[in-house]
Amino acid sequence: MPAILVLDDSATMVMSLSRVLKNAGYEVETAGNGKEGMTKLAAGLKPSVILTDLNMPQMDGIAFIKEARKNASTRFTPIIVLTTESGGQKRDEARVAGASAWLTKPTEPNELLSTLKQLLPK
């Protein structure tokens, strides 16, 4: 069962994403910000895909993606950005940092699951 690491500072969003992903058969690990996410990766978590918000306290999504790309175990792990931010500049920043896909909230569960499926290692 593929594991997904979900990063979002909204507890309701984390719960909501977890439900959608678990109902679809994924294992879910969560973190409230980029720093917490990096701590989990450093502790040995090896997610198949990472799903991250952009605007988070302590370490935002862009900084997290940059750090994750420096980490040998997540250098090539697909990272999906799921955010309210829809500006082209942020999108470019995320792409340059190493994001694999971008979804703007509100998105539908099917769109999220379809994007995940496309990015999961075959």
Partner 1 sequence: MQFTSGSSENHVCAVLAAQVAELRDRIDGGAAVELLWRTSDVLSQLSGLVLELAKRCHDSDSGLNEQCKAAIAAEAEIRRSLDSLAFEQAQRNDFTCQTVDCVVTALERLAGGDGPAGNRLSLDDLAALYVSEEQRKVHDAATRRFEVVAASGPNSAESYSREGTGG
The interface region with partner 1, picked from 26-34, 38-46, 63-71, 77-85 by CB under 8 A, is 77-85
Determine if 10 is a binding residue for partner 1 (CB under 8 A): yes
Q: What is the C-alpha separation between 8 and 78, in angstroms, rounded?
A: 17
Query: Residue type at 68?
Result: A
Where do the DSSP E strands lie in 59-111?
A: 79-83, 101-104
Q: Looking only at residues 32 through 71 of this chain, which bind partner 1 when binding is defined by CB under 8 A?
A: 54-55
21 contacts partner 1 (rule: CB under 8 A): no
Give 4's strand partners: 28, 49
Using the rule CB under 8 A, which residue among 52, 74, 80, 85 binds partner 1? 85
Select the residue interacting with partner 1 from 84, 96, 117, 118 (CB under 8 A): 84
